[in-house]
Structure 1
Amino acid sequence: MATIWSIIAFWILPIPLVLFTLLTLPLPRNMRRGLLIFTQRVFDVPVVGAFKLLHVMLWLTAVAFLGSARQAHMIKTAGQEAVWTTPNMEISHLSKRWRSERNLWMTAFAFCAWVFLAALYREASRRLDLEARLSEMERSDFTATETREPSVSREVTSKAAAAAAASRDRTPTAGSPNKTAATAAHPAAAELVGSAAGGSSPPGGIQMQELKKTA
């Protein structure tokens, strides 16, 4: 019995405490990843068939906790019904009760340590994976922004050139189609313009007749 409790005290209990302390330290990402890999290898050590070290430790600590709880209850019940004839008998009973309660709390702490270590390992692995994914997303967004800026500038330049061309098309010139259409619709006006440009003016009567015909 003493060998079992020595194994629990010197081997089963210190392992989760050391790993728990290392996983909670504020270390760089690479070191944390290395600690997680080491912890996973400790958990995955094969012991009996398909059972790994984590499964065996949880089972051993749970069984030890239940056994120590049963023993502590039996010793406490026996002390309540006993009648002590000498002080040494009472001291012996109290020492047994103290050892059983100590073993109870030690096994409970060992079981909780392994459970908490497994939970911390899972959450630390999840957090590290999320941090890696977030850093990859940030790098991809930065690259996409750099590649999108030249295309945006080219698009703005092409739009400005198209707007300038459209404004030039809308501006009337000396030989624009609007002016040609106006002179074609009014031949008399065209004749007047041509005569004015040539420096000669037609007679007033002929000019009035042509204007009436046109009207």
Structure 2
Amino acid sequence: MGAAWQWFLYTTLPLPVLLLFLLTFPGAQWVRRTVLRSTASIMSTRVSLGSSSFRLVYAFVFVVSVVFLSCTATCLRLQNEKDIADESLMSPAQRMQVLARRWRADRNWWISLFALVMWYLLARVAALCTKLHRLEEAQKAEKAK
């Protein structure tokens, strides 16, 4: 499971965090325009799987959603196991093992929720920045008349 989480962390988290930072970072007009263009090209990249084709952002959102639902199921399962098990009959080592498993599941749940929120925020902020850019261009064109 460690390699899977490593892949998840190093592929699904840095991209939206970096792009959100760049989209919201104040800068010159040409810098913002370049960042917006590169973000739009990344977000609109199409992936083909068999005969179907979909945007890369949807693939990431799907993967992150599946991981989030899996983490939710794991947390609920471990909570039910805790309710069934009698902690007074456990040795300190067994109790520590149960708590470590629950802590790891909770941590993974929060990480997957964070990744899901970051992808959603990236999609919304990119859409808002694109709309703002179009409005600024229309305003420039109107002033030039």
**Aligned 1:108-147 pairs, distance under 5 A:** 108-140=113-145
The normalised TM-score by structure 2 is: 0.92
**Aligned 1:136-215 pairs, distance under 5 A:** 136-140=141-145
| 2:63 counterpart of 1:60 | yes
| 2:75 counterpart of 1:79 | no
Structure 1 residue aligned with 2:13: 13
Larger Rg: 1
Query: How far is the alpha carbon of 1:47 from its aligned partner?
Result: 2.8
For 1:69 and 1:41, the matched residues in 2 are separated by 32
Structure 2 residue aligned with 1:42: 42
Residue-by-residue CA offset, 1:11-33 (whole Å, 9 max, x unaligned) = 21111000000000111121111
Residue-by-residue CA offset, 1:127-151 (whole Å, 9 max, x unaligned) = 01101110111111xxxxxxxxxxx
Structure 2 residue aligned with 1:25: 25
Residue-by-residue CA offset, 1:140-171 (whole Å, 9 max, x unaligned) = 1xxxxxxxxxxxxxxxxxxxxxxxxxxxxxxx
For 1:90 and 1:45, the matched residues in 2 are separated by 48
Give the unaligned 5+ runs of structure 2. none
Identity %: 26
The normalised TM-score by structure 1 is: 0.63
Query: How far is the alpha carbon of 1:85 from its aligned partner?
Result: 2.4
Q: Paired residues, what number?
A: 140
For 1:67 and 1:103, the matched residues in 2 are separated by 10
Q: 2:95 aligns with which of 90, 114, 124?
A: 90
For 1:72 and 1:48, the matched residues in 2 are separated by 34
**Alignment RMSD, CA only?**
1.1
Give the unaligned 5+ runs of structure 1. 141-215
